[in-house]
Structure 1
């Protein structure tokens, strides 16, 4: 009986060794865990993935238009932007982020602020249509001076606009053509309807001469022929250069057009007016599409 048990035990030990050998020498099998999507992106590319809305859009000025417009102001600088509201695209963009002092274009921001704080619509209409500096100065002070600009920057998402370093000189507000387009887009698409109607009516009724006697039909009004327009113009001299700006809506509000210019004062206003009008004339084919 003991011999049988001894043999039985030896058999068990041998069987266990064989089993252990099989387990150790047989390779393990497993199903790979799925890799997170984010990890796949990191592993396959050293560059971050660019979403469609962040991809850089083609610059409409890359077709040589920039050079032809700049040639019209041989002694100065020009920026020009045309935004097609019907298509939601820029038909033209030339030097759109170059900085200028605003002259009277800042009156658009003064008007919006004044209407929001309960000022007389008739007073604001007169300030815009006649480009009245006396009214603008009063509304500038009443509205909080430079806070008018800083509040607009925050509300409208302006990126190149800054208030004047001297709070008393509202015409020295720094602007870009891109930001003036954004102001018009805010006015048309986001501003309260009563404010929008008051401002647009005033811009459509811009007088031939400003309150200071300066003829303000240069640029858009003189250039676009029979196309309907609504404009806010700007002019200033000489700190130390001369600014002449034309901006507004053309073609039943379809196009936002902004042309900003800076020239040495030696050019003179008469020549500068003709030059900025010639710039807009070159844009007219875009405005008839």
Structure 2
């Protein structure tokens, strides 16, 4: 460090301060400060929590908007295109629910008919319920009211007010919505919404498997509201096979827009909710996929992206992730064939394998296999013949006890 004298020696041993030296010293300090610390621009986001360096791994071909907010520290741990607008699909059902509950009175009582509708809409993404409240409460006015009430920046109603799924939303606005529910909404509202999101059903009302993203990437506790829209003919689950029948996809491709740059043609898949004890982290992942993407690939890409995120309080489930092949692979209650189908997998989806064991031999010529993989997130088994691996027995998966 360079030294600057404040004093000089005199004949009598006393030291006197040189005013010239002080002036020179001060001028150097001022000059140095001007070069090393330029004046900062006014902070227009002084109240905006900081964000850590993102760890998000966005799969090739996927357009994503991501926001993860740690409520314990009051800061974002992930923001990737957080303000980008996507067509909301069923994420707008959060706003539809809040709008209905906004002025319910001091006890926020919900009539039994409405309770049943709202529970189906929040847990199983029921479209008939959304259609009812959308039309009853003023169509696009629902979104307009909630934008003003919550101070949303990127949310806009659809131009075609009959299509609630074309509402424009962003990841950061979704964080704001969850923060309102958790931190500012009356306790009955918070408990009703979050209680239902914690009971998300694997099979949605339209028979689509909706436990992707947050629900697949983390162990409970979590609460989720998912969204999907587009041409997905292969996303069915459960015993019966059903074609998609969603009010928010019927008008896809019409060319109407909720806001500039919102894509209404390519398929979307969104996962939002909270993760960890006390709803520590709020996670919002919006994704847009290339035309022709299968549901299983979109499901896998979204879940991989979610698994890559820095989510405080989130715990990754134990097991190994493997791809699958074939369509509508049956998940069975035991490693044998028979009348024991629990659900079906989306075609080609990646699954978490917890353990494996021998069972009934399955033949898909020219292959045979008597090993079965246990899928803890589905509570059942699939034949290893449908696992994308060359060996009958998976080398890095333990035996089931």
Give the TM interval when normalised to the shorter protein.
Answer: 0.7 to 0.9
**Deviation readout 1:60-100 (Å, 9 max, x if unpaired):** 34x5x35xx22x1x112012111000111111111101110
**Deviation readout 1:215-240 (Å, 9 max, x if unpaired):** 0001111111x341000000000531
Unaligned runs of 5+ in 2: 1-38, 105-109, 232-251, 253-264, 316-401
What is the Cα-based RMSD across aligned positions, in Å? Answer: 2.3
Unaligned runs of 5+ in 1: 1-46
Which is strand-richer, 1 or 2? 2
CA distance in 2, matches of 1:51, 1:265: 41
CA distance in 1, matches of 2:172, 2:152: 8
**Deviation readout 1:121-180 (Å, 9 max, x if unpaired):** 332112110100011000111111111111111111111000001010000000110000
TM-aligned CA distance change 1:274 to 1:138, over 3 Å: same
CA distance in 1, matches of 2:229, 2:310: 26
Deviation at 1:283, TM superposition (A): 1.8
Say yes or no: does 1:185 pair with 2:183.
Answer: no
Identify which of 63, 77, 102 aligns with 2:88: 102
Identify which of 54, 57, 66 aligns with 2:46: 54
Say yes or no: does 1:255 pair with 2:281.
Answer: yes
Q: How many residues in Structure 1 have an aligned counterpart in Structure 2?
A: 237
For 2:381, the equivalent position in structure 1 comes to none
**Scaled by the length of structure 2, what TM-score is found?**
0.56
For 2:143, the equivalent position in structure 1 comes to 149
Say yes or no: does 1:164 pair with 2:158.
Answer: yes
Say yes or no: does 1:90 pair with 2:76.
Answer: yes
Identify which of 303, 306, 310 aligns with 1:280: 306
CA distance in 2, matches of 1:60, 1:279: 17
Highest RCO, 1 vs 2 (Cα 8 Å, sep ≥ 6): 1
For 2:227, the equivalent position in structure 1 comes to 234
Deviation at 1:280, TM superposition (A): 1.1
**Deviation readout 1:30-72 (Å, 9 max, x if unpaired):** xxxxxxxxxxxxxxxxx897369638875534x5x35xx22x1
Say yes or no: does 1:135 pair with 2:129.
Answer: yes
Deviation at 1:285, TM superposition (A): 5.9
Larger Rg: 1
**Scaled by the length of structure 1, what TM-score is found?**
0.76
